[in-house]
Amino acid sequence: MPERSDGRRSARLRLGAVVLLCAVVAGVGASWYLSARDAGQPEAPGDPWFAGYVDVTAAPTYAFEAASDGAGQDVVLSFVVAAAPDRCEPSWGSAATLDEAAGSLDLDRRIARLRAQGHDAVVSFGGQAGTELGDACASAGELEDAYAAVVERYGLTTVDLDLEGDALGDAAATARRAEAVAALQSARRAAGQDLAVWLTLPVEPDGLTPEGTAAVAAFLAAGVDLAGVNAMTMNFGAEGAMSDLARRALESLHRQLGTLYAQADPRHGPAALWRKVGATPMIGQNDVAGDVFGLSDARALNAYARERGLGRMSMWSLNRDRACSGDDAATSAASAACSGVDQGDERFASLLAAGFTGRPGG
């Protein structure tokens, strides 16, 4: 018995060594494969960047062109929607056409002043309120013209399509958007002008909703070169710290993009796909009463995003990046003009922007 036991032990040790060697070889092979695949794959142009959203038509007006806190100088101006539900004309929040915004909001000159300081503006189409242009325009050609009018007026290199609610659930409108954006992107490139396109979509801790997944698939199938998918890491209504829920959502989104790109463009490796992931928390008090994204959440999410190599960080919104006071301080509802949490001298923009040194559009 002892000899047989020793023999089995020796055999197990030899077998274990072989298994370990195979695992090491397989691991090295897998690591080499992933590294080689990533090394030759396209990534979002430029370094990872930060830009906070600005609600252009909100009161009081946020002077994005005069911000002096050192963070959030690149901005995502929101939201361009249809002038009316049946009117295929871009407007700012259905409140002002592009021409009207040049006067009442002084928007054209404010964007010019921002750029004169070395910063840039992205424009976001869609959002929660109003009618997204894809729903108002009857054809992909009309929609392309509407998008192009905004891109050309403001000299944009990056656009953001914030799709949620009814706009995200309409499959026909999604197809029109995908076709229109693909045509616009192609026309811009033919003229020697790249156009980076981000989809901003709602997420749950398990990642994109089925409608969001379908939207990404539709854009890829239409031939749109997506700069990335920006996750709205907010309003989860689930147990746990907001930064933890955001991390879960982003990990899930990354896996989903792996599946989507495996079908549409299998050249992308894991690291390249992280560059196509963005995160946008709603700072402070969210629309869901129990969801509060605090300063510690901002630090944690920023550290995670830098570790993973996310291509983009944003936040909703720069208008809200201050503590509430007066009547606002006593409410637990989300305010359009303040965060609803005690910030002291700190700013969410500074915490979330740390380490994101790139520029929109590269």
Query: For 306-357, what is each residue's pLDDT tens digit?
Result: 999 999 999 999 999 999 997 665 567 899 999 999 999 999 999 999 999 9
pLDDT at 312: 98
71 plus 206 within the same structural domain: yes
11 plus 87 within the same structural domain: no
CB contact at 8 A, 276 and 311: yes
pLDDT tens track for 164-211:
999 999 999 999 999 999 999 999 999 999 999 999 999 999 999 999
pLDDT at 17: 39
pLDDT tops 90 at residue 361: no
Say how far apart CA 179 and CA 165 lie, in whole Å: 20
pLDDT at 12: 37
Q: Is residue 360 domain-resident?
A: no
CA distances from 134 to 126, 169, 171, 228 (A): 9, 12, 11, 20
pLDDT at 266: 82
pLDDT at 267: 84
Q: Which residue type sits at 222?
A: A
Cis peptide before 317 (omega within 30 of 0): yes
Tokens matching residue 285: 């008090």
pLDDT tops 90 at residue 25: no
pLDDT at 329: 56
pLDDT at 333: 87
pLDDT at 11: 38
108 plus 22 within the same structural domain: no
pLDDT at 332: 73
pLDDT interval class at 46 (50, 70, 90):
confident
Strand boundaries in the chain, DSSP class E? 49-50, 52-55, 75-84, 87-92, 96-97, 121-126, 158-162, 196-204, 207-208, 226-233, 277-281, 284-285, 292-293, 312-313
80 plus 160 within the same structural domain: yes
Percent of the chain surpassing pLDDT 70: 85
Query: Cβ of 225: how many Cβ atoms within 10 Å?
Result: 17
CA distances from 4 to 7, 9, 14, 17 (A): 5, 9, 15, 20
157 plus 121 within the same structural domain: yes
pLDDT tops 90 at residue 77: yes
pLDDT tens track for 93-142:
999 999 999 999 999 999 999 999 999 999 999 999 999 999 999 999 99
pLDDT tops 60 at residue 28: no
- Residue 17 CA, chain-centre distance (Å), reads 46
27 plus 160 within the same structural domain: no
What's the number of domains the chain is made of?
2
pLDDT tops 70 at residue 4: no
pLDDT at 310: 98
Domain residues for the domain of 28 are: 1-39
pLDDT at 3: 31
Q: What kind and span of H or E run contains 299?
A: helix 295-308
| Selected residue with higher pLDDT from 90 and 9 | 90
End-to-end alpha-carbon separation of the chain, Å? 71
194 plus 331 within the same structural domain: yes
136 plus 250 within the same structural domain: yes
Percent of the chain surpassing pLDDT 90: 80
Q: Is residue 243 domain-resident?
A: yes
CB contact at 8 A, 131 and 84: yes
321 plus 349 within the same structural domain: yes
Q: Is residue 359 domain-resident?
A: no
Determine the average pLDDT of the residues in 266-294: 96
Q: Which of 285, 272, 241 is nearest to 48 (CA)?
A: 272
Give the CATH number of the domain where residue 120 resides: 3.20.20.80
pLDDT tops 70 at residue 10: no
Length of the chain as a residue count: 362
pLDDT interval class at 67 (50, 70, 90):
confident
- pTM score, whole prediction: 0.88
309 plus 189 within the same structural domain: yes
CA angle, residues 267, 231, 134, in degrees to nearest 5? 90
**Pairing of β 292-293 and β 284-285:** antiparallel
pLDDT tops 50 at residue 37: no
Mean pLDDT in the chain? 88
12 plus 104 within the same structural domain: no
CA distances from 69 to 64, 206, 219, 349 (A): 11, 35, 37, 9
pLDDT at 71: 58
Say how far apart CA 240 and CA 262 lie, in whole Å: 32
Say how far apart CA 212 and CA 293 lie, in whole Å: 23
Tokens matching residue 281: 């928390």
Q: Which DSSP state fits 66?
A: G
pLDDT tops 80 at residue 16: no
Q: Which residues are paired to 202 by β-bridges?
A: 232
Three-class secondary structure of residue 62 per DSSP: coil
- Residue 194 CA, chain-centre distance (Å), reads 19
pLDDT tops 50 at residue 27: no
CB contact at 8 A, 77 and 316: no
62 plus 26 within the same structural domain: no
